Structure 1
């Protein structure tokens, strides 16, 4: 059906929707079952089987599988079974990692699902847009994405940016009253329709859903589209490159081992298997997977502290943020506005905290009436919906016996100009019997620009410079008390006024001063941010004195000299602003365009900037910032779409907490990577040294693969989800250009690898020496070699497990960090120890791996050997801490 060709009432009848009630919850649930979720279909997800086989797509795995086939052909069935089991177990662990990371990212995507305002059972409620059904009544306002295809049934000054669908960047004006008979009318001309994924830039409207999911216009275009982002983060890309480089080095070493073995006339097939096994163990192919799961799990943890990170690269950037540009209202303050004072010409009226009062003067009555009628919020039975500032004005009306419901009954709204950040005004036109009255509220300096008269002692008089000065003094007096000041003006007319003429020739009524108290926890968060080398900056549309008073109360600024207004910003060139930006902590009376300039000015000094925003026009500054932060409660869909992170509680403290988490996540990834490299290097050192000096190789290929299995997975992931450093916010932000191996990470990996490798050789030598043989002895009996290999096998595995404890902190001892504070790591170590004990204790496994049961004395010796890398690293940390 061509919904655009019939009138709104017929559309509602056809979809069986009540204009005032909307759908019932029961009917909506029934239709959701019938039509399915309102979302575009992506590519089908990979099955677990597909994920499993994807893990096997690796050249070294192919070689290993080939080696397994060869071992079968030559009758070494046990070795072939072990090789196959290790390959399968590795693949299963890889599937688990990928599945876990995928689930975590899916959960985050659900949290960032766009929301829609719908009318159900007569109430306007907010739901996930995927739950919309045909027939739902959707309420639209500026800053919201259209959640489905709608036939508009009511519109006021509605403009929609439809470039996502039509390619036309200029917003289209919409009118619910139009009808189009021609069925071939182009989409861009259908002014009575609104289409999924387009954006409301101005005005408000209501529409009925006529198409959802793949039955929308965007759905027809997007068949087969997969919206899931699969790009690697910069860190993952760097580590993938590192993995490749180390892989080439490892393969080179393996080729070298094989060539030397050829020259030394060793058993070529045995050395071939050893070289391949070492390559599989030494190449850190799991690095990107480990990073992915650590990032995903870390981001899930961040969501629990009310910070939803939309893009994984943002986690890396968070650790480098050193400037936080924050809105004031709702972020630094409680967003619970209360009107304290009303000012008409030379008269302050104190508004009572509780109870009611009566406005004695005509000017006071008119001012309160204007403030009440010029709002879109609602307030009834002590509960309000809408903008907190407007709710505060409705509460003011209630206190003075002028509730909105009564005022609207005799003063019907017939036209309006919605608030926008450029004008800083909102205006309505209401009927007054046979006449009309314009009601305007907004920033007082903006009121003065459009006013020509003032109401003084009940009479309209010209607005002189003297009168302006009186009003400005009153505004400044309120601002000095940290009050937000709003002005009101009006004008009467005998006839309907064109919207473009409404904000001309107005009469000033007066001002109201309201307070939004600072959040109690923010002051402490600002102190923490400063300790962490982060500079908090306030950016607000409020008056300079109001902003400065709040900033000084919170400890963000020391004096009025650290503030600058939007008009002063305009007077500065880009070069002047860049040069002087670091001296300011408060930016008042700013527009969204100013925000972009402020961000770029801070960035010109090499700063990493976080910027908060909630409005439609905040999108450019959110994108310009290194971390764009949208408000989850008051934020528009546009600001959320342009941001990297969403605060579900709109709280400044959450930004600081997110930075702490971001720093810890990065540090945890670093721990995991350094640990993996230490383990891999240890294996290479042990094998390469043995081959170079023509000693017996201390480890068999199957043993190398087994050790890789128990040390490269769960301990590394457990380090990745560590609790983190308690003192992380007492350090300066990380330089984003800093090498991943800065701060001694490369030295730790090298030291750990050398210690693990050399101690493995020492354990092997000890095993030989126990029976009177040396490394260079000619013919060593099989049972002696098995005993020595068992000692080396256990030391290599257990030393890596113990060494993971030391990786938890680069500077603090494990006792200070808390030996048992990371339960996952303790669990991973215990699991590794149990598996290692099982392999050498269960007869058929011991036979398969060519190892033997150790005595209690032997276990004591190997545990001493295995503890040395941990103890040496702890000693190094203690020595460096004393300097």
Structure 2
């Protein structure tokens, strides 16, 4: 049997059951009359309950952040092992408790302070009452002069694999930041344990971060790793600042208070087990196992899908560039205006290029190597410089080979007639595409194009199927594919020439990867490069008027109200809105009731209605 619910609550209940002799929770609750319940609030970092004692008095129990609870106390229990008598809380007592808080927090323990206060009657005589319920007291009004009972330290051990997942995230260029409501020392110890906080990292508390100006926050955020004692608003502000700086932001959360940050982020991850329904609705992805390592898996799969699209696009553009230029040049240069590649041959190439290549290149599972590169910047082109380098390099190689075979095959003795030459060009062109698929399995400048090959049997089967189909087309394609009628259509040297030139595509791809991307980038003219906005100058609507002088705040609010009224409901109202001066005139005894009740005509001819005023009174006529 175990408790189900919040980890903090269940830990306290298990401790009370094991060491304090607590009975079943249902019996404990039934034996006490609850007078008022104070739910947990992330702003005050505590929760409380008021219960009725046997003598008719009332007692307020509160638990929450230890240092905050200590500041609300004026007395402390002398010796809990003997009785519940209390004594004034001295400076030495405060220092002893603070030292204990720091000692627990430095060992990554979350400290919870337990305090109480007795009242002769409920509700107290001088306490402020809540609107709508006179028996409910405003918590802040009685949350003082408390008695310190004790403090517990709760350790939430890291899940297995979290430090490794954080390390892989950092390797992938993802900066992991921890935003928590825990004590600063507790958050620091946990962050060091899981690898989030490094030597150059900065740790701050929520109120300190919240009170900084926008420009100061932008200067601190690149080094900020831990935000302790934070509120949901601090988390939302941090997400807003990161997005304004041009970063792609992913947020994890499980509580209702995390919903604003989850909704504002580019990608929101909510917890499927402990997460609330509000958090799940506000997020984009739900982690069914509540494990941080699943975020790394999502990162790998996201990059795998993006890479699949890019691989196919890179291969398709290479084939298109080569086929279009080859077809156009050979058709223009020939006497009969006939292309070296016929319509049926281009149809077969198109089948390789679209259907089969997409299936082969898009079915690669995510590899650990995809985490070795930095993430792409926001708004980056889908075709990177590395891709353009491979597309142009392979197209140049394939065009050079096909043009040499087309124009020099007869003079070099490779082909004896035009039919054999055209068949050789077609055969070589297809084999270059087959082997170029292997180059397109990698989009970076690494040379291992066989990584994860055995995990993608679709790629292997499709390559064998296309190779076998090409051999059959050459031998039995005949008239439909415009294959040479000679027997055999291609000799041994011609077959060797086509296959070897196709294999050389892999060598050419390795040579292209040796060319630095920076060199290619410097060769691109400035007017072709995409201009980026200067980060940090974007101003959100909620902060547009934050820098206004205080004297203009009222004017700003009035103008905003008038603007909203003018552009919204006012234009759609069916009744006439009168100026106050005209309204006074209509209520004057010198104006007849029939005038005030007459429905004026709108410019469109439709009737609009004004509300008839009541009979004038002496107060109405008072100037």
TM-score strictly above 0.5: yes
CA distance in 2, matches of 1:825, 1:598: 44
Correspondent of 1:658 among 298, 303, 313: 298
Matched, 1:794 2:398: no
Correspondent of 1:870 among 506, 526, 530: 506
Q: Which residue of 2 aligns with 1:834?
A: 468
Q: Any conservation in 2 of the 1:415–1:499 contact (CA below 8 Å)?
A: yes
CA distance in 2, matches of 1:859, 1:571: 75
SS of equivalent to 1:667: helix
Q: Any conservation in 2 of the 1:667–1:724 contact (CA below 8 Å)?
A: no
CA distance in 2, matches of 1:619, 1:799: 52
Matched, 1:440 2:82: no
**Any idea what the Cα deviations from partners look like across 1:594-622, whole Å, max 9, x if unmatched?**
11222334445443333222222222222
Q: Any conservation in 2 of the 1:447–1:488 contact (CA below 8 Å)?
A: yes
CA RMSD across the alignment: 3.2
Deviation at 1:392, TM superposition (A): 0.6
Please list, as runs of the form range in 1=range in 2, the aligned pairs for 1:145-544 lying within 5 A after superposition. 381=1, 383-400=2-19, 401-403=21-23, 404-413=25-34, 415-433=36-54, 435=56, 436-448=58-70, 450-457=72-79, 458-463=84-89, 467-493=93-119, 497=123, 498-501=135-138, 504=142, 505=144, 506-544=146-184
Q: Any conservation in 2 of the 1:806–1:870 contact (CA below 8 Å)?
A: yes
Correspondent of 1:690 among 330, 339, 351: 330
Q: Which residue of 2 aligns with 1:111?
A: none
Correspondent of 2:445 among 811, 816, 821: 811
CA distance in 1, matches of 2:330, 2:64: 81
Q: Any conservation in 2 of the 1:763–1:862 contact (CA below 8 Å)?
A: no
Please list, as runs of the form range in 1=range in 2, the aligned pairs for 1:833-852 lying within 5 A after superposition. 833-842=467-476, 846-851=478-483
Change (3 A) 1:561 1:534: closer
Select between 395-404 and 614-623 the one with higher mean Cα deviation: 614-623
**Any idea what the Cα deviations from partners look like across 1:255-307, whole Å, max 9, x if unmatched?**
xxxxxxxxxxxxxxxxxxxxxxxxxxxxxxxxxxxxxxxxxxxxxxxxxxxxx
CA distance in 1, matches of 2:203, 2:415: 80
SS of equivalent to 1:698: coil
Q: Which residue of 2 aligns with 1:745?
A: 387
Deviation at 1:386, TM superposition (A): 0.6
Change (3 A) 1:785 1:732: same
Q: Which residue of 2 aligns with 1:217?
A: none
Change (3 A) 1:512 1:772: closer
**Any idea what the Cα deviations from partners look like across 1:363-403, whole Å, max 9, x if unmatched?**
xxxxxxxxxxxxxxxxxx2x221111111111111112213
Please list, as runs of the form range in 1=range in 2, the aligned pairs for 1:616-627 lying within 5 A after superposition. 616-627=256-267
CA distance in 2, matches of 1:773, 1:480: 81
Q: Which residue of 1 aligns with 2:543?
A: none
SS of equivalent to 1:751: helix
Deviation at 1:509, TM superposition (A): 1.6
Deviation at 1:830, TM superposition (A): 1.6
SS of equivalent to 1:712: helix
Matched, 1:612 2:252: yes
CA distance in 2, matches of 1:864, 1:773: 16
Correspondent of 1:854 among 486, 489, 495: 489
Correspondent of 2:371 among 709, 719, 729: 729
Change (3 A) 1:495 1:576: same
Q: Any conservation in 2 of the 1:417–1:499 contact (CA below 8 Å)?
A: no
CA distance in 2, matches of 1:525, 1:694: 61
Matched, 1:823 2:457: yes
CA distance in 2, matches of 1:559, 1:863: 55
Deviation at 1:451, TM superposition (A): 4.5
**Any idea what the Cα deviations from partners look like across 1:398-441, whole Å, max 9, x if unmatched?**
11221324422422545422222223222233454463443322
Please list, as runs of the form range in 1=range in 2, the aligned pairs for 1:99-178 lying within 5 A after superposition. none
Change (3 A) 1:652 1:871: same
Q: Any conservation in 2 of the 1:684–1:757 contact (CA below 8 Å)?
A: no
Deviation at 1:499, TM superposition (A): 3.7
Q: Which residue of 2 aligns with 1:161?
A: none
TM-score after normalising by structure 1 = 0.51
CA distance in 2, matches of 1:803, 1:512: 64
Q: Any conservation in 2 of the 1:451–1:463 contact (CA below 8 Å)?
A: yes
Q: What is the number of equivalent residue pairs in this alignment?
A: 490
The unaligned stretches of length 5 or more in structure 2 are 124-134, 520-623
**Any idea what the Cα deviations from partners look like across 1:784-841, whole Å, max 9, x if unmatched?**
5544433333322232121110112242335663665542222221222233334344
Deviation at 1:699, TM superposition (A): 1.6
Correspondent of 1:700 among 342, 354, 376: 342
Change (3 A) 1:856 1:560: closer
CA distance in 2, matches of 1:580, 1:396: 40
Change (3 A) 1:819 1:646: closer
Change (3 A) 1:763 1:713: farther
SS of equivalent to 2:359: helix
Change (3 A) 1:592 1:791: same
CA distance in 2, matches of 1:717, 1:492: 73
Change (3 A) 1:531 1:473: same
Matched, 1:719 2:361: yes
SS of equivalent to 1:864: helix
**Any idea what the Cα deviations from partners look like across 1:456-486, whole Å, max 9, x if unmatched?**
3322445555544443332222112211011
TM-score after normalising by structure 2 = 0.70
Change (3 A) 1:559 1:588: farther
The unaligned stretches of length 5 or more in structure 1 are 1-380, 775-783
Select between 446-455 and 643-652 the one with higher mean Cα deviation: 446-455
Deviation at 1:698, TM superposition (A): 0.9
**Any idea what the Cα deviations from partners look like across 1:224-251, whole Å, max 9, x if unmatched?**
xxxxxxxxxxxxxxxxxxxxxxxxxxxx
SS of equivalent to 1:729: helix
Larger radius of gyration: 2
Q: Any conservation in 2 of the 1:808–1:814 contact (CA below 8 Å)?
A: no
CA distance in 2, matches of 1:558, 1:829: 47
Change (3 A) 1:750 1:502: closer
Q: Any conservation in 1 of the 2:300–2:367 contact (CA below 8 Å)?
A: no
CA distance in 2, matches of 1:641, 1:726: 31
Q: Any conservation in 1 of the 2:415–2:421 contact (CA below 8 Å)?
A: no
CA distance in 2, matches of 1:739, 1:879: 20
Q: Which has the higher contact order (CA 8 A, sep 6+)?
A: 1
CA distance in 2, matches of 1:820, 1:479: 49
CA distance in 2, matches of 1:493, 1:617: 32
